[in-house]
Amino acid sequence: MAKDVIVACDFNSKEETLAFLDQFTDCKPFVKIGMELFYAEGPDIVREIKKRGHKIFLDLKLHDIPTTVKKAMTVLRNLDVDITNVHASGTVSMMEAAIEGLTRADGTRPLLIAVTQLTSTDQTQLENDLLIKEPMEEVVMHYAENAKKAGLDGVVCSPLEAEAVHSRCGQEFFTITPGVRFADGEKGDQKRVMTPEQAKNNGSDYIVMGRPITQAEDPVSAYKRAVKEFLS
Ligand code: C5P
């Protein structure tokens, strides 16, 4: 799949989400549906947005025993999303089971990517809460390599890590990067950010942008600006 800008539709109702998407009359952004919207509205919201012609990244971050993840993925594959994900910390066996469950009878499947370490986790939490003594950077790269070993297509990571992930796992291994802000915009609660152009130069394949687009005075212009900066 080609490089693209994914808009994080972090709304908690169908009405708000569809009213937001209705503003895009001459383009169909790639949409990220997260837990908030999916748990509020169920699978119908995925079908509705898909019916309107948008590509969908279903960001549910599955993490459970391999059998349960496989069965859950078997349900999700029928939703016809374009990308979905799991936690790499669920182990290589769990990620292999996820691929098995996601693969349809005809051999096709959505892209599957892994969350490495959440950007909300810091080195102290890694050491004290999770008893992982390695440096964060090494943990992220090791989890990315595990995802590749399991046959996944890429990882979610910071745009600052995209280049390193590509050099460890190959250029064809996707990096999907949130934490992107316009040069003149608010950072909000994202700490380490890059602009769309910097993310492009650092090797991101997809950037995920939420509030800089959803909360903009003119979301369509903000989206088009992100596309221009990231793709041109
Ligand atoms: O509004 P903002 O651009 O910060 O939205 C970023 C999106 O990416 C949100 O949906 C957030 O949950 C998600 N995300 C993130 N950092 C991660 C993983 C996902 O910001 N490490």
Type of residue numbered 65: I
Entry pTM: 0.96
In this prediction, residue 11 carries a pLDDT of 96
In this prediction, residue 1 carries a pLDDT of 65
Out of 14, 50, 55, 61, which one is annotated catalytic? 61
In this prediction, residue 187 carries a pLDDT of 81
- Distance in Å, CA 40 to ligand 1 centroid: 18
Best probe residue, ligand 1, of 10, 143, 165, 208 (max atoms within 8 Å of C-beta): 208
Report whether residue 36 contacts ligand 1, using a CB cutoff of 6 Å.
no
Residue 28 annotated among the catalytic residues of the structure: no
- Distance in Å, CA 210 to ligand 1 centroid: 7
Q: Using N-to-C axis directions, what is the helix angle for 136-149 and 92-102, rounded to 10°?
A: 40
> Along the chain (232 residues), what's the average pLDDT of each consecutive run of 10 residues?
93 97 98 97 97 98 98 96 98 98 97 92 92 94 98 95 96 96 87 91 97 97 98 94
Report whether residue 178 contacts ligand 1, using a CB cutoff of 6 Å.
yes
CA distances from 209 to 10, 164, 201, 206, 217 (A): 10, 21, 17, 10, 15
Cα separation of 28 and 21, whole Å? 8
In this prediction, residue 186 carries a pLDDT of 83
